[in-house]
């Protein structure tokens, strides 16, 4: 049975998550399919930030480190995020950027496996994951080899020299979802530690770090957690590893007694040792608003809607845009996808520019990917109708061949 | 001639900087002498942040990376800060925390001097500077030695094995100011690179990085730059060093083509290679408001008022609090001080708690330091009268011996 706008509107009426959309400010006339690059603004964020600015900073001044418990905010929001990724309290901390956290944990992992010299990762992993590994290996005197392999070759590449398996749970281009439990188990049987990048997972797909016995993870605050542009990152360290860990960057807020101002570093107990410098309280407070929305949304319902949105988008594109050089780049089976659907098109860049000009905001990813993020808290089923109608019209009209769309540079 | 309130009020009437105070929100009934720990809220910040939230993030969504030039903000604010620290355009970037920037630049410095094995620094340097050096040395396999010496012993310790001299320009406890030109020159004659921590300098004292031929610097956004709690840090790399530098942490925003999503890292030209992950736009925008105020304040006038405030505070304490166990911990001569005055007292902690309870907010620094930050843009000469009157009354009354002041834990 063909998809129609009426059928999609009927799904919206039955959608148990539909009320969440009102918690976000979304501009009129836009279908926003890029919440996996920058999540939209929660309506509660401006008020919270105004209070942090005017009461906590303006009136409280330095006293707010205590009185508003700014000092506890990274661990408090970390504990909240732990509830989204299957981690116990005390295992997640908000700190720094994802890239810096990758560096901290990858270095810590290598230090735990001093006799091993290989970092195993995936072809097509997000660049910063690869770059951090490259920079770290060079920094450590080129003693380590970085092995990039296609996903299907990873398990058989787990040889005794592999110190750390560094993977992104959901691929940023294709949306392919790794089997975290299986890969972590295979790595552990080889004595290899696993560092999971949850950038496209946290708040989007079920994650069970403790259930998978994961070693390390990092994640992003500005995608599905809706923490705002450049929101701080989070990191996870399995409790069983926390006591023996050696972070490469040891800063004053990771000290056991930061306000003792001791000359020598000794680490805080637990996850607190992963803190380095003073965190931005504005950025943390904004992230907390987004996280608290995600905590109220049942993950089972989020995942079900995400899978359904993906299935419908794939079917609708097949229905409305046949013979338009669009090739599905995402696994067809929902169980193997994250919360996005991507298509390849030989002119993906100007096609996406034309879509954006018509108010359908997705993302281009080099070299040929049209990426559509599916954020179940804000996207209506009927939005897919409009998005695919615009895509169809753009492809039929050929307007994406016009210079204006080819020239505009989109940074995302 | 004794200081009187009338004399101080007369100075306020003549103060060419007095109008700047109105640009900040300061709570009623407080004398804030802790702007060197957390600068006060500029009145322009809430409006700027509301616009970033509602227009740029809320309405612009992902498009604001281009349309609001979020992507250029770290370099743009960096160029503004360059104007405060005597650095050329293209040599300063806002990024990460001070501690992370110390790590990046100290590691880069060691990599430029591979045959040398000593990091020379100062006894009593700010702990995070010491901790970062300790963590880095351990991370690099304990090939390096960290030598902590009293300030007067530094020059004679510049031997051929010293790779990097790591110093904080103004000491966080005593307020002592290093001679940047002389120390940098002495280090260079020894082939040693210098990394200056400007946490208590930028916006507070004249800094001439280019004139001193400094190699590296980091600085803090939340002290004299009034960027808000945990504001991002900045870093400086001398243009002559930028091309050959190897940062230990290489992230996607430091890539020459971040949106090419290449598998291999190659660094951006210039200072851009020091970027790592996605920066918080909220935090950057708040910092920019503070920096733009500092840029409008003539540094010569700021320094003159700062020195005068310090001289008066020292004289007023001598006048009002004789025989009260207060010992000046700061150099008596203004030319050798930053923008703070500190006193030692055997019960500094509860004394400071009592002062704060009476609305005079300074800082305690272990073990025995009462620290008073002097921020010429917000402090009136008459404020010193009130501060010292309260100090005198507290010390005379002995109320600081009461349990309430002894027990309260102040985190700053």
Residue B409 pLDDT class (50, 70, 90 cuts): low
Which B residues in the span 291-350 are in contact with A, Cβ-Cβ below 8 Å? none
Are the beta carbons of B132 and A250 separated by less than 8 Å?
A: yes
Q: Exactly one of A32, A103, A222, A349 is catalytic; name it.
A: A222
Is A223 one of the annotated active-site residues of the chain?
yes
Are the beta carbons of A276 and B97 separated by less than 8 Å?
A: yes
Which A residues in the span 100-129 are in contact with B, Cβ-Cβ below 8 Å? 100, 103, 107, 111, 123, 126-128
Are the beta carbons of B361 and A280 separated by less than 8 Å?
A: no
Q: Has B174 been labeled as part of a binding site?
A: no
Residue A251: its chain B contacts at CB < 8 A? Answer: 97, 99-100, 128, 131-132, 135
pLDDT score, position B402: 85
Predicted confidence (pLDDT) at residue A323 exceeds the cutoff of 90: no
Pick from B230, B245, B361, B364 the residue to mutate for testing the A interface (most A CBs within 10 Å). Answer: B230
pLDDT score, position A412: 42
Tokens of B249: 């942490």
Tokens of A369: 């990917």
Average pLDDT, chain A: 96
Residue B81 pLDDT class (50, 70, 90 cuts): very high
Q: Is A251 on the interface with B (CB under 8 A)?
A: yes
Task: Please tell me the distance in Å from A365's CA to the nearest CA on chain B.
Answer: 8
Q: Is B222 on the interface with A (CB under 8 A)?
A: yes
* Pairing outcome for strands A41-42 and A118-122: unpaired
pLDDT score, position A408: 56
| Spatial separation of the C-alpha atoms in residues B169 and B180, rounded to whole Å | 7
pLDDT score, position B323: 83
Task: Please tell me the distance in Å from A100's CA to the nearest CA on chain B.
Answer: 7
Q: Is A286 on the interface with B (CB under 8 A)?
A: yes
Residue A324 pLDDT class (50, 70, 90 cuts): confident
| Spatial separation of the C-alpha atoms in residues B366 and B127, rounded to whole Å | 12
Residue in B closest to A282 by C-alpha: B283
Residue A405 pLDDT class (50, 70, 90 cuts): confident
Residue in B closest to A98 by C-alpha: B277
Q: Is A142 on the interface with B (CB under 8 A)?
A: no
> What is the residue-wise DSSP string for B308-376?
HHHHHHHHHHHHHSTTSS-EE-S-SSGGGB-SEEEEE-TTHHHHHHHHHHTTEE-EEETTTEEEEE--T
Tokens of A19: 């009320």
Bridge partners (DSSP) listed for residue A361: A32
Domain boundaries, chain A: 5-41+298-407, 69-296
Q: What is the pLDDT of residues A10-20, one digit of tens each?
A: 999 999 999 99
Is A197 one of the annotated active-site residues of the chain?
yes
Q: Exactly one of A197, A347, A363, A368 is catalytic; name it.
A: A197
Q: Would the ipTM clear 0.95, i.e. be above it?
A: yes
Q: Has B250 been labeled as part of a binding site?
A: no
| Spatial separation of the C-alpha atoms in residues B18 and A410, rounded to whole Å | 45
Out of B40, B127, B232, name the one closest to residue A255 (CB): B127
Q: Which of B282, B27, B62, B24 is nearest to A46 (CA)?
A: B282
Task: Please tell me the distance in Å from A87's CA to the nearest CA on chain B.
Answer: 24
Q: Which of B28, B39, B21, B24 is nearest to B412 (CA)?
A: B39
Out of B27, B126, B131, name the one closest to residue A265 (CB): B131
Out of A53, A254, A411, name the one closest to residue B49 (CB): A53
Predicted confidence (pLDDT) at residue A406 exceeds the cutoff of 90: no
Out of B248, B365, B410, name the one closest to residue A139 (CB): B248
Q: Which of A128, A402, A238, A55 is nearest to B264 (CA)?
A: A128
Residue A285 pLDDT class (50, 70, 90 cuts): very high
Percent of chain A past pLDDT 70, that is, above it, reads 98
Cα–Cα distances (Å) from A406 to A32, A388, B114, in that order, read 21, 21, 47
Q: Exactly one of A24, A126, A216, A234 is catalytic; name it.
A: A126
Percent of chain A past pLDDT 90, that is, above it, reads 95
Q: Has A363 been labeled as part of a binding site?
A: no
pLDDT score, position B64: 97
| Spatial separation of the C-alpha atoms in residues B83 and B80, rounded to whole Å | 5
Predicted confidence (pLDDT) at residue A315 exceeds the cutoff of 90: yes
| Spatial separation of the C-alpha atoms in residues B364 and B369, rounded to whole Å | 6
Q: What is the mean pLDDT of residues B123-136?
A: 97
pLDDT score, position B324: 82
Predicted confidence (pLDDT) at residue A142 exceeds the cutoff of 60: yes
Out of A71, A173, A264, name the one closest to residue B411 (CB): A71
Q: Has A144 been labeled as part of a binding site?
A: no
pLDDT score, position B412: 42
Cα–Cα distances (Å) from B116 to A217, B109, B121, B192, B217, in that order, read 36, 10, 15, 9, 20
| Spatial separation of the C-alpha atoms in residues B241 and B21, rounded to whole Å | 39
Q: What is the pLDDT of residues B256-273, one digit of tens each?
A: 999 999 999 999 999 999
pLDDT score, position B4: 98
Q: Has B126 been labeled as part of a binding site?
A: yes
Percent of chain B past pLDDT 70, that is, above it, reads 98
Q: What are phi and psi of B351, to 5 degrees?
A: -65, -45
Q: What is the mean pLDDT of residues B356-383?
A: 97
Task: Please tell me the distance in Å from B56's CA to the nearest CA on chain A.
Answer: 10
pLDDT score, position B407: 63
Residue A409 pLDDT class (50, 70, 90 cuts): low
Q: Has A172 been labeled as part of a binding site?
A: no
pLDDT score, position A410: 46
Which CATH number is associated with domain A5-41+298-407? Answer: 3.90.1150.10
CATH architecture of B69-296: 3-Layer(aba) Sandwich (3.40)
Q: What is the pLDDT of residues A208-255, one digit of tens each?
A: 999 999 999 999 999 999 999 999 999 999 999 999 999 999 999 999
Pick from B42, B71, B97 the residue to mutate for testing the A interface (most A CBs within 10 Å). Answer: B97
Q: What is the mean pLDDT of residues A137-165?
A: 97
pLDDT score, position A411: 46
Q: What is the pLDDT of residues B272-318, one digit of tens each?
A: 999 999 999 999 999 999 999 999 999 999 999 999 999 999 999 99
Is A364 one of the annotated active-site residues of the chain?
no
Q: Is B164 on the interface with A (CB under 8 A)?
A: no
């Amino acid at each position: 049975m063909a998809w129609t706008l009426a059928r999609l509107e009927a799904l919206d009426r039955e959608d148990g998550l539909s009320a969440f959309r009102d918690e976000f400010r979304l501009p009129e006339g836009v279908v926003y399919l890029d919440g996996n690059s920058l999540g939209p603004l929660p309506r509660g964020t401006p008020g919270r930030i105004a209070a942090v600015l005017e009461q906590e900073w303006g009136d409280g001044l330095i006293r707010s480190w205590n009185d508003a418990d700014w000092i506890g905010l990274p661990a408090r929001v970390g504990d909240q995020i732990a509830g989204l990724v299957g981690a116990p309290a005390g295992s997640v901390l908000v700190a720094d950027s994802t890239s810096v956290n990758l560096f901290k944990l990858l270095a810590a992992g290598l230090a735990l496996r001093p006799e091993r010299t290989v970092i195993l990762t995936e072809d097509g992993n997000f660049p910063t994951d690869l770059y951090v590994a490259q920079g770290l290996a060079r920094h450590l005197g080129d003693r380590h080899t970085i092995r990039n392999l296609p996903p299907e070759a990873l398990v058989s590449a787990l040889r005794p020299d592999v110190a750390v398996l560094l993977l992104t749970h959901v691929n940023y281009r294709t949306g392919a979802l790794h089997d975290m439990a299986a890969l972590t188990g295979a790595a552990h049987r080889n004595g290899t530690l696993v560092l999971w990048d949850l950038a496209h997972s946290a708040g989007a797909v079920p994650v069970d770090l403790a259930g998978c016995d994961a070693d390390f993870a990092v994640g992003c605050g500005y995608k599905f957690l809706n923490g705002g542009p450049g929101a701080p990152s989070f990191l996870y360290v399995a409790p069983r590893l926390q006591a023996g860990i050696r972070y490469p960057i040891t800063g004053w807020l990771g000290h056991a007694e930061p306000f003792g101002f001791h000359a020598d570093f000794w680490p805080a107990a637990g996850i607190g040792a992963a803190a380095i410098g003073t965190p931005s309280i504005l950025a943390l407070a904004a992230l907390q608003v987004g996280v608290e929305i995600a905590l109220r949304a049942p993950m089972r319902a989020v995942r079900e809607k995400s899978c359904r949105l993906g299935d419908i988008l794939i079917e609708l594109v097949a229905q409305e845009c046949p013979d338009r050089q669009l090739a599905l780049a995402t696994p067809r089976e929902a169980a193997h996808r994250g919360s996005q659907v991507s298509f390849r098109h030989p002119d993906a860049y100007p096609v996406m520019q034309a879509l954006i000009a018509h108010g359908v905001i997705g993302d281009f990813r080099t070299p040929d990917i049209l990426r559509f993020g599916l954020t179940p808290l804000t996207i209506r089923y009927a939005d897919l109708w409009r998005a695919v109608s615009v895509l169809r019209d753009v492809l039929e009209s050929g307007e994406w061949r016009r210079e204006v769309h080819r020239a505009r540079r989109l940074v995302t």
